[in-house]
Amino acid sequence: MTELASTQLTTNEVLAQSGVAFGTSGARGLVEQFTPDVCAAFAVAFVEAIKNEFSFTTLAIAVDNRPSSYNMAQACSAALNKLGITTLYYGVIPTPALAYAAMQREIPCIMVTGSHIPFDRNGLKFYRPDGEITKLDEQAILNSTASFESLSVANEPAILTKLITDKAAEEEYLNRYLSLFEQPFLTGKHIGIYEHSSAGRDLYQPLFEKLGATVTSLERSDVFVPIDTEAVSDEDKAKAKAWSAQYKFDAIFSTDGDGDRPLIADEKGNWLRGDILGLLCAKALGVDALAVPVSSNTSIELSNAFKQVDRTRIGSPYVIAEFARLAKSFNSVAGFEANGGFLLGSDTVINGKELKALPTRDAVLPAIMLLAASIEAGNISSLVEACSLRFSASDRIQNFATEKSQSYIAAYSKAPYALIKLLGFDEISVLKTDVTDGLRITLSNNDIIHLRPSGNAPELRCYAESDNEATAQALVVKVLAKISTL
């Protein structure tokens, strides 16, 4: 192995020059921006940011299936080893599996993943021993002035130590859910697993089979597939309907790239909106209070199923930050996002068994609770129909400069009436606006239009809500088509 160079670098200087930035969940950038030294700088700065709050000598690392992820993990591990920190490498597993294992060991962890963003990008997610880092932690990482040794020799990357995979985290993640059920409650159910390149694709079939279901694997891919659970492609919509017709599935389960956001279709092959899935899961869990992003469907409040619902900025750190406040008044606290990720903010009991809190996005819990609820209801679609008091739709314009999105939001937040007229709504007025995150406009007919720059990629997202599904979808199409021509 090549001897690592002794050139000293400073974390904040390396990160400032990298072009990598924090988004709604983790640091994201182009693959070429995540050089070994940039990965090292992030790892060292992360440790520096939390070392005064936590005592640890071990840190866990896992990766998704992107080709660049393993080398990034090697760089993080090499830098940490130089600090005297042992790294546990859990291989390719879902982000919540890594977070859960680390929390049980009271150690921090780093997930190398770009989640759903395009193939030419990647990212890093950081977890303290008690869960996801906060926005204050993000700033501490970027501002850290810790020194570290470059991972380059004569301007060439060093040959880094091979990482040995520990299987403990995936076993603990499976047992977290299998231990809740004394009998295979999914016996007689047929579930399709759309595997693509998901980090959890090797775990989901054995999980559902042990719960009693017959499982059919669908479209495993050796090429990374950027599944966005919040903006499902027309191709994936068609696939689900075709698969359901062919196999007579009771459900189809999939996730985004790192397995923290679920994508679930009912028995008819209709993909569920993430906030409706979260609503059904929270009701099944008997949660007292919720924290959800401002973009979530208002069926949550209209359901009258919860003692309190607080709305936050979009991004799991904001949802998690609200848990501490809610926990002062309520016994059970949870949250979810329009993209489907469910966050369990407090310990809870299912079938007389304790389920530990997992305050990070998880794809498996909402899937299991939905399937459990569907046993009594007969199918998933009837559950969805009963709770869908309002209908949401969303889509995005890709390759839309973040600066351009931000300028639109800034300008029209001050003049929402001008935006509505520009979009072609001549006979409708503005009832109210919400600038919690982006620009959310409630129209006089109670339809909602919400524009927001993506926090992870150069995309402009549009969310819409109406009393019927067709109108919500039409609103999104109309708004994005018009903005594309501006």
Which domain CATH number covers 113?
Answer: 3.40.120.10
pLDDT band at 227 (very low <50, low <70, confident <90, very high): confident
Place of tokens 């390719």: 92
Answer yes or no: do 414 and 371 share one domain.
Answer: no
173 located within any domain = no
Average pLDDT over residues 188-215: 97
Q: What confidence tier does 451 reach under pLDDT thresholds 50, 70, 90?
A: very high
**Pick from 157, 153, 13, 147: nearest CA to 82:** 147
Instruction: Yes or no: say if 260 and 24 are a contact pair by the CB < 8 Å rule.
Output: no
Residues 362 and 412 grouped into a single domain: no
Give yes or no: residues 201 and 120 share one domain: no
pLDDT at 395 over 60: yes
User: Tell me, what's the pLDDT at 458?
Assistant: 87
In a domain, 3, yes or no: no
Q: Judge if 184 and 310 occupy the same domain.
A: yes
- Compute the distance between CA of residue 286 and CA of residue 102 in angstroms, rounded to an integer: 27
- The span from the CA of 193 to the CA of 197, in Å, is 12
Q: Do both 97 and 114 map to the same domain? A: yes
pLDDT at res. 152: 83
Residue that has been written with the tokens 């004569």 in this structure: 154
Answer whether residue 64 shows pLDDT above 90: yes
Under 8 Å CB-to-CB from 443, ≥6 apart: which residues? 420, 425, 428, 429, 430, 431, 449
Q: Per-residue pLDDT for 128 more than 90?
A: yes
32 secondary structure, DSSP code? G
Enter the pTM of the model. 0.90
Tell whether 241 is covered by a domain.
Answer: yes
Per the listing, tokens 């640091």 go with: 27
Is residue 172 assigned to a domain?
A: no
pLDDT higher than 60, residue 2: no
pLDDT-derived band at 296 (thresholds 50, 70, 90) equals very high
Asked whether residue 423 is domain-assigned, the answer is yes
Higher pLDDT among residues 433 and 226, named by residue: 433
β 289-293/308-312 pair status: parallel
Residues 453 and 336 in one domain: no
Which among 165, 174, 161 has a CA at the least distance from the CA of 90? 165
Does residue 203 sit in the same domain as residue 267? yes
Q: CATH no. for residue 447? A: 3.30.310.50
CB 198 within 8 A of CB 252: no
- Residue at 125 is within a domain: yes
Do 243 and 288 belong to one domain? yes
Q: Which of 332, 353, 387 lies at the terminal end of a domain, its last residue?
A: 387
Q: Which of 115, 244, 332, 374 is catalytic?
A: 115
> Does residue 235 sit in the same domain as residue 309?
yes
Strand arrangement, sheet containing 262-265: 214-220, 190-196, 251-255, 262-265
Q: Please indicate, yes or no, if residue 116 is contained in any of the structural domains.
A: yes
Reported as a pLDDT band with limits 50, 70 and 90, residue 160 is confident
- Average pLDDT on 267-290 reads 96
Cβ(402)–Cβ(455) below 8 Å: no
DSSP letters, 389-426, are SSEEEEEEEES--HHHHHHHHHHHHS-HHHHHHHTT-T
Length of the chain in terms of residues written: 486
pLDDT tens per residue, range 306-365? 999 999 999 888 999 999 999 999 999 999 998 889 999 999 999 999 999 999 999 999
Q: Domain boundary at 387, 419, 443, which?
A: 387
**Residue in the structure block whose two tokens are 């006089």:** 444
pLDDT(456) > 90: no
Q: Is the pLDDT of residue 1 over 60?
A: no
Last residue of one domain, picked from the residues 340, 360, 387: 387
Q: What domain range includes position 111?
A: 8-167
| Beta carbons of 224 and 256 less than 8 angstroms apart | no
Rounded CA-CA distance 144/45 in Å is 6
Contact 303, 309 (CB under 8 A): no
- Establish if 207 belongs to a structural domain: yes
pLDDT band at 54 (very low <50, low <70, confident <90, very high): very high
What per-residue confidence (pLDDT) applies to 4? 45
Residue 155 has a pLDDT of 65
Number of C-beta neighbours around residue 189 at 10 A: 20
- Please say if the pLDDT value at position 5 is more than 90: no
Beta bridge partners of 133: none
Q: What is the pLDDT of residue 154?
A: 61
Residues 282 and 407 placed together within one structural domain of the fold? no
Which residues, 6 or more positions from 396, have their beta carbon under 8 angstroms from its beta carbon?
A: 228, 231, 454, 459, 460, 461, 462, 480
Same domain, 47 and 87: yes
Q: How far is CA 486 from the centre of its chain?
A: 31
Grade residue 419 by pLDDT with cuts at 50, 70 and 90.
Answer: very high
Catalytic residue check, 115: yes
54 and 132 share one domain: yes
At residue 472, the pLDDT reads: 95
Count of structural domains within the chain: 3
473/465 Cα distance (integer angstroms): 8
Mean pLDDT for the chain? 93
